[in-house]
């Protein structure tokens, strides 16, 4: 029996982790839970990091490890060393990590080796593509976690097939639903991004592309840009691409041009939600954006050959197009002509609350 209240360490490092942990942080704050935020600093540019803390009114991280960018081992290693030091000092009962980044693997590994319990938010996702660093991070993290918070029954089944004990798996929905529901109204009220960019509802395409498999490969990146240019020509409406720093760097390095594509800086969450909701079609290789379009009921074309979010394909909000220009144009046309079911497989927007409830109940 514990002789103190439950102490939770919430580890974040990148844009999507901050956004998807925000409902859990808000819930901990509301309950006056004993918790603290540990930021690895994997993302550090203002518009990839701090803007989300400010806009979502999240408490400042107690620690920022300033891990920054680097190779897979450098980034993961620096995070592992820094997280271990904090955990030794803070002695939390449980460490929460979210998603599939290098920060997630480092957080889970540091904690489990100190015999601190690990909760993996968004467990059981699989692309079955081990060339993706994220797939390796997901598999390893799920297998060293004490609590696997699976967003759907499908992800629960995946974990069971891999031999993870049933009593470690909890289907909670995905906290991205909470984040969308909590912020959509504010986004409508506070963001004026369409005006600022001179866009009209349903008269533009929205794009995000940042996966190494796409942007670190000149041919694939070129294929995507050509497909987007064809779309602009065929539909005669703007293509807006808030460009991730990785993609910007690679575009310069490869000498690629984005003529007729409206490149803008990464947007804050309210602005981006507005852009997503009002786009004619969203084209992406992002995980979170596949989910959000599904929740918002807006069509999505995924510029990849696989997805760890098959639920979005099953409900018809998403389609896989790969990176060939004609395939991209055909996928957009198909999505525009398709009847959509409009259901959201990722839960009821109460995932943050469910996760904290489970921790309170199970760690006694
Ligand atoms: C990381 C995650 C990826 C996630 C993405 C979210 C891993 C292996 N990858 O990819 O799963 O989808 O975050 O956006 O953990 N950079 C900046 N400023 C920043 C951050 C990055 O300029 O704040 C630039 C640097 O040049 C850096 C590059 O972007 O080298 C890539 O950053 P990194 O964190 O290594 O990977 P992401 O591509 O962001
Ligand atoms: N996002 C944002 N501004 C942008 C692009 C994306 O706020 O300019 C948000 C988006 O709403 C989603 C998250 O960032 O919640 C997705 O992050 P990203 O695509 O970087 O990572 P992934 O989900 O692929 O890991």
Each residue's pLDDT tens digit, 189-206: 887 999 999 999 999 999
Return the pLDDT at 364: 73
The answer to whether residues 314 and 344 touch, using CB atoms and an 8 Å cutoff, is: no
Residue 342 covered by a domain: no
Let me know whether 13 and 77 are in one domain. yes
State the CATH number of the domain containing residue 156.
3.40.50.2000
**Structural domain contains residue 42:** yes
Is 133's C-beta closer than 6 angstroms to any atom of ligand 1? yes
Cα–Cα distance, 118 to 124 (Å, whole number): 15
Q: In this structure, is residue 262 part of a structural domain?
A: yes
| 278 part of a folded domain | yes
The reply to whether 251 and 109 lie within a common domain is no
Looking at residue 159, its pLDDT comes to 98
Q: Are residues 292 and 354 in the same domain?
A: no
Category of 127 on φ-ψ map: left (φ > 0), alpha (ψ -120 to 50) or beta: alpha
Kindly report the protein residue whose alpha carbon is nearest to atom 28 of ligand 1.
Answer: 246
The number of distinct structural domains making up the chain is 2
Give the gyration radius of the chain's Cα atoms.
20
Based on the fold, state whether residues 29 and 120 are members of the same structural domain. yes
* Claim to verify: residue 142 and residue 193 sit in the same structural domain: no
Q: Which atom of ligand 2 is nearest to the CA of 208?
A: 5
User: What are 284's strand-pairing partners?
Assistant: 208, 302
42 lines ligand 1 (CB under 6 A): yes
The finding on whether 249 has its CB within 6 A of some atom of ligand 1 is yes
Give the number of other Cβ atoms within 10 Å of residue 195's Cβ. Answer: 8
Mean pLDDT by groups of 10 residues along the chain of 364 residues: 80 98 98 98 98 97 98 98 98 98 99 98 98 98 99 98 98 98 91 94 98 98 98 98 98 97 98 97 98 97 98 96 98 92 92 98 91
| Distance, first Cα to last Cα, the chain | 6
- Ligand 1 within 6 A of 246 CB? yes
Atom of ligand 1 minimally distant from the CA of 72: 8
- For 337, other C-beta atoms within 10 Å of its C-beta total 7
Residues 291, 269 contacting (CB under 8 angstroms): no
217 and 130 in a common domain: no
Host H or E run for residue 173 = none
pLDDT of residue 340: 72
- Clarify whether residues 351 and 254 are in a common domain: no
Q: Whose CA is nearest to atom 13 of ligand 2?
A: 16
Give catalytic status of residue 4 as yes or no: no
Pocket lining for ligand 2, CB < 6 angstroms:
15-16, 19, 208, 210, 242, 266-267, 269, 272, 286-289, 292
Indicate if 13 and 146 belong to the same structural domain. Answer: yes
Pairing of strands 94-98, 117-121: parallel
Is 264 contained in some domain? yes
Range of the domain at 144: 7-174+347-362
Q: Report the Cα 305 to chain-centroid distance in Å.
A: 18
Model confidence, pTM: 0.98
Closest CA to 101 of 132, 129, 78: 132
One domain for residues 119 and 198: no
* Residues 140 and 199 grouped into a single domain: no
Residue 2 within a domain: no
Cα 193 to the center of its chain, rounded Å: 21
């Amino acid at each position: 029996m514990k002789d103190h209240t439950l102490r939770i360490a919430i580890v974040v490092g990148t844009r999507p982790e901050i956004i998807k942990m925000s409902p859990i942080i808000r819930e901990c704050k509301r309950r006056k839970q004993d918790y603290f935020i540990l930021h690895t600093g994997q993302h550090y540019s203002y518009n990839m990091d701090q803007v989300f803390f400010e806009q979502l009114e999240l408490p400042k991280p107690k620690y920022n490890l300033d891990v920054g960018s680097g190779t897979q081992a450098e980034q993961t290693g620096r995070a592992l060393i820094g997280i271990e030091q904090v955990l030794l000092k803070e002695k939390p009962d449980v460490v929460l990590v979210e998603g599939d980044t290098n920060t997630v693997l480092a957080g889970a590994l540091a904690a489990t080796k100190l015999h601190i319990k690990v909760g993996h938010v968004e467990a059981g996702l699989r692309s079955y593509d081990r060339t993706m660093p994220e797939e390796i991070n997901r598999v390893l993290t799920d297998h060293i976690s004490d609590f696997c918070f699976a967003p759907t029954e499908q992800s629960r089944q995946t974990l069971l097939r891999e031999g993870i004990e049933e009593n470690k798996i909890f289907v909670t929905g995905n906290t991205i639903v909470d984040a969308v529901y909590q912020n959509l109204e504010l986004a409508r009220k506070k963001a004026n991004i369409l005006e600022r960019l001179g866009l009209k509802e349903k008269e533009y395409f929205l794009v995000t592309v940042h996966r190494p498999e796409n942007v670190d490969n000149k041919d694939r990146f070129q294929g995507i840009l050509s497909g987007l240019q064809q779309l602009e020509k065929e539909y005669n409406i703007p293509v807006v691409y808030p460009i991730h720093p990785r993609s910007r760097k690679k575009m310069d390095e490869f000498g690629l041009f984005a003529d007729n594509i409206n490149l803008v800086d990464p947007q804050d969450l309210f602005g981006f939600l507005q852009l997503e909701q009002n786009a004619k079609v969203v084209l992406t290789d992002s995980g979170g954006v596949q989910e959000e379009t599904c929740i918002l009921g807006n069509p999505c074309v995924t510029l990849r050959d696989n997805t760890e979010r098959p639920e979005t394909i099953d409900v018809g909000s998403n389609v896989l197009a790969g990176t060939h220009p004609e395939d991209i144009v055909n996928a957009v046309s198909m999505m525009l002509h398709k009847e959509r079911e409009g259901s959201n497989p990722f839960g009821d927007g109460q995932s943050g609350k469910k996760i904290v409830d489970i921790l309170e109940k199970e760690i006694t």
